[in-house]
Amino acid sequence: MDLILSAFEILMRWDVALALLAGSVGGVLIGAIPGVGPAVAIAILLPATFSMDPIVGLTVLLGIYGSSMYGGAIPAILINTPGTAVNALTTYDGYPMTARGEPRRALSLAYSASFYGGVFSVVCLILFAPLLAKVAPLFGSREIFLAALLGIILVVVAHRGQALIAGALAAFGIFIQTIGLEPVKYSQRYTFDQDFLGSGINLIVVVLGLFALSQAFVLLMDEDEKVHLTKLRGGMFQGLRELSRHPRIATVSASFGVLMGMIPGVGEFTAQFMSYTYAQKTSKRPQDFGNGSSEGLIAAETANNAVPAAAMVPLLALGIPGEALTAMMLSVFYVHNVVPGPALFQNRMDFVVALYLALLILNVLVLIFLLMATKSLIKVVKIPNRFLGVCILTLSFVGVYSLRNSATDCVMAAAFGMIGYILKRLSLPAVPIILGMVLGGIMEVKLRAGMARVKEPLDFIDRPVAFILFLIIVIVLVAHTIRVLKDRKERKEAEWQTKTSSTNFGGLMLRRKSSFLKGRGKQVRARHSKLLRRLTDLF
């Protein structure tokens, strides 16, 4: 109880309250605009948060991260266009509700499910915070290195069908991190005698380039789309009553979100599809899924909003981000010399609980705001793409230049913006690059520190937590290899069946064509013989 009271004292400041309000409302607005998303907004705001207190800066970023999915449901339900990538599954059942004249019911249900998922995950993590405080000291340099390595492996294998390119991009991120002064002897690496590379490539420059500038280029290149909005009818509070009729689906979906959020590299998509599949298989009306099922909408929205709070666990407990957004937040910790990891849970537990309480208050603020302001809020969907692109481009370059007052950083950000644009057009992931940069630095430092007491290779995993992490890494790699081989075998079997069926069909068509030609030949010869007899009789 004393811990919660001290956490509330941290939050009871006017600047923290203002940050909560700005983050929650701003996140909803950003999420409601298709094509922007929280990654772009957080990338743009990062330079500004460096001058704030850690709790204020992180509260703003957490507000945007946690509330953007609420806003992303608005265009997903009304115009069948997800506001953020994780709202794609919301369109399956949200838009069919709109098509049959129930947009307000769908929005209200989405808000209620999101609120339940967000509050459920925060309550779970506050209850488990003492347990995390006991487990965190068991992680030394070797354990954190193995955890970071596991994080990169999970991120790579999570890109099913693109694991090879994801691994290459993660390796590229690790290479970028090595440019500049190495952290032990401070010798130059990969600078090629260029002064501007001596201090390395700034993470924020890469983030702004890959996410903000690349998205600006996409918006500027694409044509503006005409949006036709449906009028809202009905009460906005009916979703709360309807959610209470499906407590099992809401609770199981939120549990999936908490579990998947704590695993680096997994995130919202896996939690969503697991909860959606569970809801469909256990539903009395599975045929309604994809056609406006309230259970399907609850499963999708509850799961994705339970992830943000859970994703903070590996970040705070081990200093290991599981995705691009938490990797950006990690830089705010480092700027203010607040190092996430076991020491944070031992020495600053009130700070950790304050962050979770901020997420709890954030969900309440967002729900109240959305229930009251949805009718006015939906107008942001009509903002033209190119106008958004120009705004993002301008704000991004201002943010990059403000880091070190360097025009070179702007050029480098533009270069990474082009790389990000190419990756977007090729439908390739940019997240592994960022996680490679962040986790690569952690791995290098922890590996050097851990190797000081290692005499033989097996000494590296001679402690229980290190051995468990090593075992998990082996299991993940073996399972992924088996899955790849199985997919390849199924693909070959499918290709063989297609080839066989096409060959059989081709042979059948040839036989039919041959018999048809033979029949036509007989008919032609008969006509010629008849014509010859007539000519003979005539002459």
SS3 of 74-139:
HHHHHCCCCCCHHHCCHHHHHHHHHHCCCHHHHHHHHHHHHHHHHHHHHHHHHHHHHHHHHHHHHC
Average pLDDT over residues 231-252: 73
488-519 residue pLDDT tens: 888 888 778 777 765 555 555 555 555 544 55
CA 127 to chain centre: 26
On whether the CB atoms of residues 90 and 77 are closer than 8 A, the answer is: yes
Give tens-digit pLDDT for 380-412: 666 777 887 888 888 888 878 877 778 888 888
CB count in 10 Å sphere of residue 156: 25
Taking only Cα atoms into account, the Rg of the chain, rounded to an integer number of angstroms, comes to 29
Supply the DSSP symbol for 110. H
Query: Which amino acid is located at 430 in the chain?
Result: A
Please tell me the distance from the alpha carbon of residue 170 to that of residue 14, in angstroms, as a whole number. 41
Asked if residue 135 lies in contact with residue 462, where contact means CB atoms within 8 angstroms, the answer is no
Nearest to 254 by CA among 209, 314, 298: 298
Provide the 8-state DSSP code for 140: -
Give the Cβ contact number of residue 487 at 10 Å. 12
C-beta neighbour count of 208 within 10 angstroms: 33
Task: Determine the Cα–Cα distance for residues 483 and 71; give it in Å rounded to an integer.
Answer: 36
Question: Cα–Cα–Cα angle for 40, 121, 62, nearest 5°?
Answer: 30
Structure tokens at 294: 């309230």
Distances (CA, A) of 292 to 118, 149, 240, 506: 23, 41, 17, 42
pLDDT per residue as tens digits for the range 49-59: 777 787 888 88
Tokens (6 digits) for 167: 């691994």
> Which distant-in-sequence residues (6+ apart) come within 8 Å of 492 by Cβ?
none
Q: Mapped to the 3 state alphabet, what secondary structure does 452-496 carry?
A: HHCCCHHHHHCCHHHHHHHHHHHHHHHHHHHHHHHHHHHHHHHHH
Other Cβ atoms less than 10 A from the Cβ of 204: the count is 20
Closest by CA position to 91, among listed 67, 103, 113, 75: 75
CA-nearest of 342, 352, 438 to 140 is: 342
Contact 205, 413 (CB under 8 A): yes
Asked whether the CA dihedral 193, 196, 201, 207 is positive or negative, the reply is negative
In 3-state terms, what secondary structure has residue 280? helix
Q: Which of 131-140, 302-311, 434-443, 509-518 has the lowest mean pLDDT?
A: 509-518
Identity at 537, one-letter amino acid code: D
CA–CA separation, 44 vs 212, rounded Å? 7
pLDDT, one tens digit per residue, over 288-321 is 777 778 888 888 888 888 888 888 777 777 777 7
Span 77-115, pLDDT tens digits? 877 767 776 777 787 788 788 777 777 888 888 888 888
Entry pTM:
0.71
pLDDT number for residue 539: 40
Residue type, 444: E
d(CA 282, CA 279): 5
DSSP 286: G
Q: What is the pLDDT of residue 172?
A: 92
